[in-house]
Amino acid sequence: MSVKWETLNLLAETRAVDVWYLFPTSAVNRQLAGDFAKVDENKQHALDEVFGSTAWRTDIYNVRLVQGGLFDQPVTTGSKRFNVDQIECYAQDRLKTIFSYVSDPLPLLNDRTSKIFSLFCMSNSASVKAIALIKKGVTSVIKKYAGR
């Protein structure tokens, strides 16, 4: 989770580079506890930097305020609505807000077939020919490595 949204945004703004981005699917899923109340401030900040927004809090969770007790302050809680595949789709949708082309992800699995990373290719090229060539290359990579 070391690549910040700010970095991706700067790359997108150049309109001069194509980017292969290894999205940390498993790490993000681990940070997203089943109950929003268990996502501490440090995790929230890290997720804000990965997704480039705080919108994930209400997009991924059914967030609500509950009274902590008779004299306690209200607590924000809510259950996680997304599984790993939905998190991957959410990441792709977020990337599409800054790149004109975002490939379908190539899931990278561990030896237990758990999704660890999702590999995306992204571009902001204005050239239709360049995007067509990128899509062809991505299709070739996915065909070669998908299912391994």
Question: Mind listing the pLDDT tens digit for each residue in 34-78?
Answer: 999 899 999 999 999 999 999 999 999 997 766 666 567 776 778
Instruction: Return the pLDDT at 33.
Output: 95
Instruction: Return the pLDDT at 146.
Output: 72
Structure tokens at 12: 């997108």
pTM of the model: 0.88
Q: For residues 139 and 104, give the distance between their C-alpha atoms in angstroms, rounded to a whole number.
A: 9
Nearest CA among 148, 129, 141, 121 for reference residue 17: 121
